[in-house]
Structure 1
Amino acid sequence: MLMQKPNPLHAFLPATGEAAELVAGFNWAATSIGSVGTWPEVLRATVALILQSPVPIVTLWGEDGIMIYNDAYSIFAGGRHPQLFGSKVREGWAEIADFNDNVMRVGLSGRTLAYRDQELTLTRRGIPEPVWMNLDYSPVVNERGLPIGVMAIVVETTEKVRAERALAQLNATLESRVEERTRERDRMWRLSTDVMVVADFSGRIVAVNPAWTSQLGWAERELIGADLVSFVHPDDMDGTRAEVQSLSRGVTTLKFENRYRHKDGSWRWLSWSAVPDENFIHAAGRDIQAEKEAAGALKSAEDALRQSQKMEAVGQLTGGIAHDFNNLLTGIGGNLELLQQRIAQGRLQGIERYIEGAQTATRRAASLTHRLLAFSRRQTLDPKPTDANRLIGDLEELIRRTVGPQIEVEVAGAAGLWTTRTDRNQLDNAILNLCINARDAMPHGGRLTIETANRWMDHMSAGDRDLKPGQYISICVSDTGTGMTPEVMNRAFDPFFTTKPMGQGTGLGLSMIYGFARQSGGQVRIYSEEGQGSMVCIYLPRHFGEDAVQDETETSHDLPRSDDGETVLVVDDEPGVRLLVTEVLRDLGYRAIEAADGPAGLRILQSDARVDLLITDVGLPGGMNGRQVADAARQYRASLKVLFITGYAENAVIGNGHLDPGMEVLTKPFTVEGLANRIRTMIES
């Protein structure tokens, strides 16, 4: 929501948010901290900080602990909001007054407190209920270093704690079952129900116990003198013979499994323990047929649980997406509404900020959708010849600001680095993500290195990386941080897998990087040792062809015009997009022809109308997608230039980034400047 009647005293507040409005409208003079005009700068800065945080934070100011909190905390407060706002913490949360007495006492003495999964009983919905929280309390100090307030970060962990206790759903019961089964096995062993055999070192059976008859149906006379391996399943024979040979060479004990033939022709899984003495092999085989079947069922249950967890993560992800998009749409809609009002009132001075605000929100929305599509490996790539050294150079300052002064950043770009053909925006995101991961692995500082190299992959090295032999470039980001265990490395690219604390990582970053690299014909590999740091390398194919070009965003704001009556056919079923493109074309002097679906566009292309460029959406109604329209049109116009515009997952339709000459792709949403430059470049090429 938008703040009304701006007040200079409230300049430190964010422009939006319920909590910001509450701060602006609250009668602070009635509290011990006084009116906003008397607030010290540290209080203003603290309030501005917490109001912009997505994490639930509350500031407890002064001896009374006056509560000022953000929108995220208001959700945590439940039905106690907004009454808590501006109240004394001991009175606002009366049921835990003793707990907060200690918090204020410790915080105002300059010390910190931290609780993990702290249980408290709160009344947030009319009735007392137990809740669990991660609580971090830090003193807020004035310019003289004296504590004058306490900042509390509150993350509710109730659902996690309940789930863990329930799982502990399950472990206690499982342990008791295992213990019971173990006792049963001990009784079975004492009663000699396991099959036992004595054989010489050639595998010839010397003696068997009665369990062979009760368990496998074979009589003693049918077994004595027979080859032990002759009763084994054909698929297990080689492995069993190898185990017998190992025992004959002096291996002291062996455990292995195989399938044995029952006299009725069926097969039974046995788990063997075998030891040799001077003359014979002594082995006991336990029937594990039921356990094998149970293991299969358990795996199915684990798969179902894992799927359930992934679906829960998807639910959290979509909730976050909805939140982000609602914020972005609020920014776009609000700025456009203000722009409309100002134009209607004839007040044109300063309207550029509303335009810029809407454009900024649009760019952020576009970035969000691209990240999501990268995670699902369905984003439409816009590959172009790219100089990775120059791209990293453009990113270097942003990387240094992101990782902070505790971390030394070193960039080592290979001289004569080959050009690669890739989506530069996605490569930007991938490198930045790897640098953020490296920063998080070095909480106490360290060294981050970004290096590039030319790589010639022969059959062996390419096979190790699941790549085709050939020439590649590598971009490696290494750190001197905590490193990874083999188990973590094996799961690092799994969606939703993260080793970061709850709320600090989605587990999507490396998955998105892997999806982007594979779509680009490359690969990602992790090299790490626990406690010794990590290195993540992106391998991308070398590009043979034109040199790397500048981004369209670096071009002039003077849009290139048509001065020769060039004609562009626009095929798109979305009227708003069609209107935008045709308006841009006409403003720049082009003649624009419109078609709402593939068949209509193809009829125009089959006529003798002049068409210098076809701009078509990929997903079209009418039975023909954009690629089909372009391919059909080239039967009549072999040199027709085609610009595909797409906003979703039609990457496979248009060639997975490998387009025919004269075809290019532009990803929605696009800027007018980017569209105009691409049209001019393609027509003149």
Structure 2
Amino acid sequence: MRDDGPAGAAGTRVTAAFPHGASIMAQAVREHDWALTPLGPPTQWPAPLRSAVNLILSSPESMYLVWGEALTFFYNDAYTPILGPRQRRALGAPLRALWADAWDAVRGPIEAAFAGHASRFEEMPIGMNRHGSPEQTWWTFSFSPIYLDDGRVGGAFCVTNEVTDRKLAQQHLADEHERLIRLFEQAPMFMAFLTGPQHRVEFVNDGYSKLIGHRDVIGKPLAEALPDAAEQGYLQPLDEVYRSGRAYTANALAYTMQAEPDGAVERRLLDLVYQPITGSDGAISGVFIQGLDITDRLSLERAVREAEVRNRQILDSVMDYAIIATDLQGRVTSWNEGARRILGWAEADMLGQTLERTFTLEDIARKQLLVEMASALETGSGTDERWHVRSSGERFWANGSMMVLREETGAAIGFVKVLRDRTAERLAGEALLKSERRLDALVRASSHAIFSASADWSALRHRVGNGVLSDDLPANPRWQQELVHPDDRAQLAQASATAIANTASLDVEYRVNLPDQQTGWTQMRAVPLLDAHGRIIEWFGTATDITDKRQAEAQLRQLTDTLEERVRERTAELLLAEEKLRQSQKMEAVGQLTGGLAHDFNNLLTAISVGLELLQTRIAQGRYDRLERYVEMAQSSAARAAALTQRLLAFSRRQTLAPTALEVETLVRGMREIIARTLGPSIALQLRADAQAWQVLVDAPQLENALLNLCINARDAMPDGGALTIAITNAELRGSAAQQLELPEGQYVCLSVQDTGTGMSEEVMEKVFEPFFTTKPIGQGTGLGLSMIYGFTRQSGGQVRMHSEAEVGTTMSLYLPRFTGEPLPADQAAIDAPTLPTAGDSKTVLLVEDEAPIRILICEVLIDAGYRVIDVADGSTAVERLQSAEVIDLLVTDVGLTGALNGRQVADAGRLQRPALPVLFVTGYAASAAVGAGQLETGMEVLTKPFLAADLERRVGQLLASSGGGAA
């Protein structure tokens, strides 16, 4: 390198505008004192130098140049930040001094440029000290020579870009990539990268390789690499993810893997995600698979759950112990079934609650829980033997202990308390102590001889009067020979042998030999003391001198012999008279009953028989114009007879009820119109009801009949008009109120009918519920109405009470138990009304009836209605048909069959084979025992005789419809 001197020597013209441009460094060059540099003033610079300076100063790229042998330094605005603190002295400075820290790195390229060789370097590392401390930098730069006019090289310029940040970022990315690769390989999850629509395997980690049995899959389409996965449907979701770009997630998927053709088959459960991989253009290039083999975890969780269930079952099976776990603050975390049984609270009520809830107020004030926990932490066990409190507030005596719960590190995490109810034992101990004290006092105060005897009565020891038995008293094996009269020893031996054989108490009287050669009497009473196996250990008892008593009894017998004979004779006469009176009363009652029945039924039978006779006569005469009238008369009389029998059944409380939940107010309001018409215009009707009257469970038609009957009675008691009030009130019966009504304590609905009529006398009120008793004229009442109401109400679990005053009026009150079940909708009957089968449905009915005429008539009715009928005359044959494979849709049976089986037994036997078989009981009397104590099972109904053919056909159709067509 050389210095060519000032440019003026070559005749170059220098203008005042050099260097060109308004950049910061252009201004700095103009203002710099170049006379102090080897270059001298700019007017003397050679043209190539001036051109190169203008070039770099106007360039937006980071550039600098060096000139001459001194390597005088020029740079532009873009290069300024690279200089850092040295920028203040950089312009015109020698490069070697300015960049001494980087000279070794740039020396070679600069010398090559001055030798006429251009060069370029990418990301060249250069160590420098720009900011007071060494730093590693990277640069991309090029050096070009600057030629003088004579072809020699006067300097060199450099286009440079610092790429340190980019290089560091690249290194960071490489490090991150390497770290991610390591994380990917070491991840506990299985991972794989797939590319393209064929899902070619690009990379898998160790977890994925282990899952697939270390098979060679890299570079292969997944269907080829893992045919077992393809067969199990794992490729379809991959195709969908690749097509749609939506991730796919699945949990606990089963994957059956066989790494080798002859290898073991493993079934694993996987949680996995298929995540689409998109390129910079947004297009999907592949799928990333990640997941977790949860087989072992699920097995462990299942084992833990099973262990928890077993442990809980074990804890809950310990019913005699309360086992309670708490945290370190004494709050309940576990509560077994034994704790619920002993303390009364359910686990849900106690979780999170302090255990002090089970302590007495005294123990809470003493902070007994803290004392127990501190004792458990210090000694390993805190004792607990004191009174506790149940959820009801009742106190009970318990003993137990509190122990510390620790984790694996030994740190305390809570407490477990085991508690047992010892109230009975404590009370028994107190009672025993009290009993022992009383016994001791009794023995000391007793004048009886207290004794004990060996198990076989061979030896006896005793203490007379003021003394207590003890084991150190001498036993006397010859007591019977010394004390018992010879004639009574066999009796005493027999009595003691019987007591030993039966392990029973002994109570025997025998004679004893007295010291003065006299004979006395003793009463010996003894009870056995048993061991744990029920064997007699010894006997304890008393011996009482009853000599005076025996002598007094003998004297008394002599005095009373004649008196007793007279008393026996008189007593026999009185008993005979009482028996005759009872028999007379029975016959009178039966006479009233049968007389009333005969009267009513004779009237009804007369109407039926005469009507049928006229019907027969008119048919024989060919006169058919008025036949319907006679048929109606006979049917009306039959209906009245049926109503009479129903009243008799209600009176006897043996009718079969069909109770339903109902609101009494709704029922009464529904009857208001018919009641008003029955009362007539001269009687004002008023209805009062509590705002929220309770429901009852009763037979609705029977209640309607009872209410109407009471209203009719009230009407008849007000011939000149008056007022009738029907009231519905809720009644809570407790204590004496329930006792007076002869009802269990509880809640009832009271339905009362009050009139302003003539009232009743005491004499009439005493007989008002008796059958066939009536105050109405002959022909206007049967006397069964109130008997029926009484029987129905009592059978429904309620009671009837009456209050009446002459010329004031009468109130009849029916108390019916409250029903707390779900209410029936008002339109339930309409909603649930079944669609009756039509004729020709060809359902099969098994008919059981021992009365041939009735059996034939029922058959005719059912066959005319389109049913197939199997008729039998006895229960045994019916059971055989029911146990066969024959199709039977409905059983119709009489209740009171002749033979070994009644109708209910036939139905029960049929339902063993056919559980859903509908049953219709047909009966002429109330066989409540045969149909289940007055209550029917589901799918069973009762049709009482007499009945109309239409009623039979309707009931059969309803049963078949409600049962879905039968139970073949």
**TM-score relative to the length of structure 2:** 0.37
Pick aligned residue for 1:375 from 651, 662, 673:
651
Find the aligned partners of 1:680 and 1:304 in 2 and give their Cα distance: 54
Residue equivalent to 1:333: 609
Aligned AA (1:655)? G
Q: Against the structure 1 CA distance between its residues 675 and 451, is the aligned structure 2 distance closer, same or farther, given a 3 Å change threshold?
A: farther
Pick aligned residue for 1:630 from 875, 894, 907:
907
Residue equivalent to 1:47: none
Aligned AA (1:602)? V
Residue equivalent to 2:230: none
Residue equivalent to 1:435: 711
1:186-225 to 2 correspondence within 5 Å? none
Pick aligned residue for 2:851 from 563, 571, 574:
574
Residue equivalent to 2:917: 640
Residue equivalent to 1:182: none
Pick aligned residue for 2:752 from 476, 479, 493:
476
Find the aligned partners of 1:317 and 1:626 in 2 and give their Cα distance: 28
Tell me if 1:312 matches 2:595.
Answer: no
Q: Greater CA radius of gyration, 1 or 2?
A: 2
Find the aligned partners of 1:659 and 1:450 in 2 and give their Cα distance: 31
1:143-154 to 2 correspondence within 5 Å? none
Pick aligned residue for 1:323 from 595, 599, 603:
599
Q: Bigger shift: 636-645 or 535-544?
A: 535-544
Q: Is the 1:380–1:646 Cα contact (8 Å) retained in structure 2?
A: no
Aligned AA (2:877)? A
SS in 1 for 2:641: helix
Aligned AA (1:609)? E
Find the aligned partners of 1:613 and 1:296 in 2 and give their Cα distance: 60
What is the CA distance between 1:565 and its match in structure 2?
A: 2.4
What is the CA distance between 1:677 and its match in structure 2?
A: 2.3
Residue equivalent to 1:351: 627
Q: Which runs of 5+ in 2 are unaligned?
A: 1-551, 560-565, 963-968
Query: Over aligned residues, Cα RMSD in angstroms?
Result: 4.5
Q: Is the 2:846–2:891 Cα contact (8 Å) retained in structure 1?
A: yes
**Could you report, residue by residue, the CA deviation over 1:552-599 in whole angstroms, capped at 9, with x for unpaired residues?**
9xx99x975255422111111122222232222222222111111111
Find the aligned partners of 1:387 and 1:670 in 2 and give their Cα distance: 30
SS in 1 for 2:635: helix
Q: Against the structure 1 CA distance between its residues 439 and 582, is the aligned structure 2 distance closer, same or farther, given a 3 Å change threshold?
A: same
Pick aligned residue for 1:680 from 941, 957, 961:
957
Residue equivalent to 2:687: 411
**Could you report, residue by residue, the CA deviation over 1:378-418 in whole angstroms, capped at 9, with x for unpaired residues?**
44445455664455456545544555554333234566655
Q: Is the 1:386–1:549 Cα contact (8 Å) retained in structure 2?
A: no
Find the aligned partners of 2:601 and 2:929 in 1 and give their Cα distance: 27
Tell me if 1:651 matches 2:931.
Answer: no
Q: Against the structure 1 CA distance between its residues 629 and 369, is the aligned structure 2 distance closer, same or farther, given a 3 Å change threshold?
A: same
What is the CA distance between 1:683 and its match in structure 2?
A: 1.6
Residue equivalent to 2:789: 513
Residue equivalent to 2:66: none
Residue equivalent to 1:465: 741
SS in 2 for 1:467: coil
Q: Which runs of 5+ in 1 are unaligned?
A: 1-260, 269-289
SS in 2 for 1:634: helix
Q: Bigger shift: 397-406 or 442-451?
A: 397-406
Tell me if 1:612 matches 2:855.
Answer: no
**Could you report, residue by residue, the CA deviation over 1:477-514 in whole angstroms, capped at 9, with x for unpaired residues?**
11224545667655543446667789987764433321
Find the aligned partners of 2:616 and 2:761 in 1 and give their Cα distance: 57
What is the CA distance between 1:600 and its match in structure 2?
A: 0.9
Q: Is the 1:310–1:496 Cα contact (8 Å) retained in structure 2?
A: no
Q: Against the structure 1 CA distance between its residues 320 and 510, is the aligned structure 2 distance closer, same or farther, given a 3 Å change threshold?
A: closer
Find the aligned partners of 2:600 and 2:775 in 1 and give their Cα distance: 24
Q: Bigger shift: 518-527 or 308-317?
A: 308-317
Tell me if 1:361 matches 2:637.
Answer: yes
Find the aligned partners of 2:865 and 2:943 in 1 and give their Cα distance: 19
What is the CA distance between 1:362 and its match in structure 2?
A: 0.8
Find the aligned partners of 2:799 and 2:678 in 1 and give their Cα distance: 25
Q: Is the 1:419–1:547 Cα contact (8 Å) retained in structure 2?
A: no
What is the CA distance between 1:679 and its match in structure 2?
A: 1.8
Q: Is the 1:381–1:656 Cα contact (8 Å) retained in structure 2?
A: no
Q: Is the 2:836–2:960 Cα contact (8 Å) retained in structure 1?
A: no
Higher RCO (C-alpha under 8 Å, 6+ residues apart):
1
What is the CA distance between 1:540 and its match in structure 2?
A: 2.9
Find the aligned partners of 2:876 and 2:905 in 1 and give their Cα distance: 10
Q: Against the structure 1 CA distance between its residues 503 and 330, is the aligned structure 2 distance closer, same or farther, given a 3 Å change threshold?
A: closer
What is the CA distance between 1:452 and its match in structure 2?
A: 2.8
1:216-615 to 2 correspondence within 5 Å? 305=581, 308-309=584-585, 311-383=587-659, 388-389=664-665, 391-393=667-669, 395-396=671-672, 399-400=675-676, 402-412=678-688, 420-442=696-718, 444-455=720-731, 457=733, 461-483=737-759, 489=765, 492-495=768-771, 508-529=784-805, 532-542=808-818, 544=821, 547=824, 560-615=837-892
Find the aligned partners of 2:804 and 2:573 in 1 and give their Cα distance: 35
What is the CA distance between 1:681 and its match in structure 2?
A: 2.0
Q: Against the structure 1 CA distance between its residues 314 and 663, is the aligned structure 2 distance closer, same or farther, given a 3 Å change threshold?
A: same
Residue equivalent to 2:231: none
Q: Is the 2:891–2:917 Cα contact (8 Å) retained in structure 1?
A: yes
Aligned AA (1:640)? L
Aligned AA (1:586)? I
Q: Is the 2:592–2:772 Cα contact (8 Å) retained in structure 1?
A: no
Aligned AA (2:598)? A
Q: Is the 1:374–1:516 Cα contact (8 Å) retained in structure 2?
A: yes
Find the aligned partners of 1:673 and 1:395 in 2 and give their Cα distance: 26
What is the CA distance between 1:614 and its match in structure 2?
A: 1.0
**Could you report, residue by residue, the CA deviation over 1:441-476 in whole angstroms, capped at 9, with x for unpaired residues?**
445543221223455555765444333455543321
What is the CA distance between 1:545 and its match in structure 2?
A: 6.2
Q: Against the structure 1 CA distance between its residues 684 and 652, is the aligned structure 2 distance closer, same or farther, given a 3 Å change threshold?
A: same
Q: Bigger shift: 532-541 or 436-445?
A: 436-445
Find the aligned partners of 1:563 and 1:331 in 2 and give their Cα distance: 36
What is the CA distance between 1:534 and its match in structure 2?
A: 2.7
Q: Against the structure 1 CA distance between its residues 343 and 504, is the aligned structure 2 distance closer, same or farther, given a 3 Å change threshold?
A: closer
What is the CA distance between 1:662 and its match in structure 2?
A: 1.7
What is the CA distance between 1:645 and its match in structure 2?
A: 1.5
SS in 1 for 2:912: coil
Pick aligned residue for 1:664 from 908, 930, 941:
941
SS in 2 for 1:656: coil
Find the aligned partners of 2:722 and 2:567 in 1 and give their Cα distance: 49
Aligned AA (1:565)? S
Find the aligned partners of 2:642 and 2:958 in 1 and give their Cα distance: 24
Find the aligned partners of 1:671 and 1:604 in 2 and give their Cα distance: 28
How many pairs align? 405
Aligned AA (1:619)? G
Q: Is the 1:385–1:549 Cα contact (8 Å) retained in structure 2?
A: no
Q: Against the structure 1 CA distance between its residues 348 and 385, is the aligned structure 2 distance closer, same or farther, given a 3 Å change threshold?
A: farther
What is the CA distance between 1:525 and its match in structure 2?
A: 1.6
SS in 1 for 2:816: strand
Q: Is the 2:685–2:723 Cα contact (8 Å) retained in structure 1?
A: yes
Find the aligned partners of 1:303 and 1:587 in 2 and give their Cα distance: 57
Q: Is the 2:655–2:934 Cα contact (8 Å) retained in structure 1?
A: no
Residue equivalent to 2:330: none
Q: Is the 2:662–2:823 Cα contact (8 Å) retained in structure 1?
A: no
Aligned AA (1:410)? Q
Aligned AA (1:353)? R
Q: Bigger shift: 361-370 or 525-534?
A: 525-534
Find the aligned partners of 1:302 and 1:582 in 2 and give their Cα distance: 53
**Could you report, residue by residue, the CA deviation over 1:158-206 in whole angstroms, capped at 9, with x for unpaired residues?**
xxxxxxxxxxxxxxxxxxxxxxxxxxxxxxxxxxxxxxxxxxxxxxxxx
